[in-house]
Amino acid sequence: MSFVSVSNVWKKYNNRSIIERVNVDILEGEFISIVGASGCGKSTFLRMLLAEETPSRGEIRIDGGAPAKEPNQERGVVFQKYSVFPHLSVRENLIAGEGFVTPFGKLFGAKRRVAVARADEMLERIGLNHVADQFPAALSGGMQQRLAIGQAMSARPRILLLDEPFGALDPGTRIQMHDFLMELRDETNMTVFMVTHDLQEGFKLGDRVLVFDKPRWDPHDPGMYGATITYDFDARDGGIPFQLKEETDVSE
């Protein structure tokens, strides 16, 4: 039974199709990598999964529910950069991630104790307990992204959306982040959608790799048609299909 069901989804901006005819069914716990040329609508697709944008046509259902009208705690998101609050400490960022908001911006009493205990558990899990009271600017890029992922996971989302989350990290840190993400995922059975520029990363982490591309092309009007899913690779064995071995990047 499919968990995320995308049925005939189109997205238009200013009457131009960005995404067209996207149909895909995702099982709970699947890790979906998304690759495709720059500007072909990958982030737009993630924003629709997040319910920050609504499809111009078609619908996205999660666990058979009605299409969402706005983001909710079911869906967590991490961008390449700047998804943490710079004015909050590492621990406060995790507390904020649980979705508690008060008119004063702070929690008090028993609620605060529960939130702090949960944040400390998450700190342990993401390996940042030694920097709990520091501000994000004091952390390395890899640590900031671990914090961003921890923050997104604090609300216990059923779906985690990652938009080129490791794109700004050096190769060594990237590999560490892969291990980190795989561990978290094994612990939680989350459903993950990750956009990446790096085809190898997509195949290494993903159970499936979806390729977005424009199947129709008008040379006189390149913006005329939108992108859709042109390939849906099974990547469970972690290998790159033979015909793709020569390429490492499909984006440029």
Ligand X SMILES: Nc1ncnc2c1ncn2[C@@H]1O[C@H](COP(=O)(O)OP(=O)(O)O)[C@@H](O)[C@H]1O
Find which of ligand X, Mg ion, none residue 228 binds, CB within 5 to 8 Å per kind. Answer: none
Whether 93 and 84 have beta carbons less than 8 Å apart is answered as: yes
Could you give the CA distance from residue 43 to residue 49 in angstroms, rounded to a whole number? 10
By CB under 6 A, name the binding residues for ligand X: 13, 18, 36, 38-44
Nearest CB to ligand X, comparing residues 41 and 150 = 41
Q: Of 29 and 167, which CB lies nearer to ligand X in the complex structure? A: 167
Q: Residue 40: which of Mg ion, ligand X, none does it interact with, CB under 5 to 8 A by kind?
A: ligand X
Torsional sign, CA 59, 64, 70, 72: negative
Judged by beta carbon distances under 5 to 8 A according to partner kind, the member of Mg ion, ligand X, none in contact with residue 165 is: none
- The option from ligand X, Mg ion, none interacting with 41 (CB < 5 to 8 A, set by class) reads ligand X
Select 38 or 243, whichever has its Cβ closest to ligand X. 38
- Whole-number minimum distance, CB 40 to ligand X, in Å? 5
Tell me the closest approach of the beta carbon of residue 41 to ligand X, in angstroms: 4
Closer residue to ligand X (CB): 42 or 174: 42
Instruction: Take residue 221 and report the two structure tokens written for it.
Output: 């009007």
Closer by beta carbon to ligand X, 189 or else 230: 230
**In the bound complex, what is the minimum distance in angstroms from residue 87's beta carbon to ligand X?**
27
Using the minimum distance from each CB to ligand X, give the nearer residue, 180 or 212: 212
Could you say which of Mg ion, ligand X, none residue 229 binds, taking C-beta under 5 to 8 angstroms by partner kind? none
Question: At its nearest, how many Å lie between Mg ion and the CB of residue 84?
Answer: 19
Q: Which of 50, 78, 40, 55 has its CA nearest to residue 7?
A: 55
Q: What is d(CA 50, CA 48) in angstroms, rounded to the nearest whole number?
A: 5
Half-sphere exposure of 156 (CA within 13 A, CB side): 6
Binding site for Mg ion (CB under 5 A): 43
Q: Which does 38 bind (CB under 5 to 8 A by kind): ligand X, Mg ion, none?
A: ligand X
Residue 131 interacts, among ligand X, Mg ion, none and using kind-specific CB cut-offs from 5 to 8 Å, with: none
Query: Rounded to 5 degrees, what are φ and ψ at 176?
Result: -60, -40
**Closest CB to Mg ion belongs to which residue?**
43
Nearer to ligand X, 92 or 201 (CB): 201
Q: Are 227 and 45 in contact (CB under 8 A)?
A: no
Q: List all residues 6 or more positions away from 71 whose beta carbon is below 8 Å from its beta carbon.
A: 50, 51, 52, 77
CB 216 → ligand X: shortest distance, Å? 16
For residues 203 and 240, the answer to whether their CB atoms sit within 8 Å is yes
Query: Per residue in 120-149, is it b (16+ CB within 10 Å) or e — as a string?
Result: eebbebbebeebbeebbeebeebbbbbbbb
- Give the nearest distance from C-beta 21 to ligand X in angstroms: 16
Residue 117's CB: how many other CB atoms inside 10 A? 10
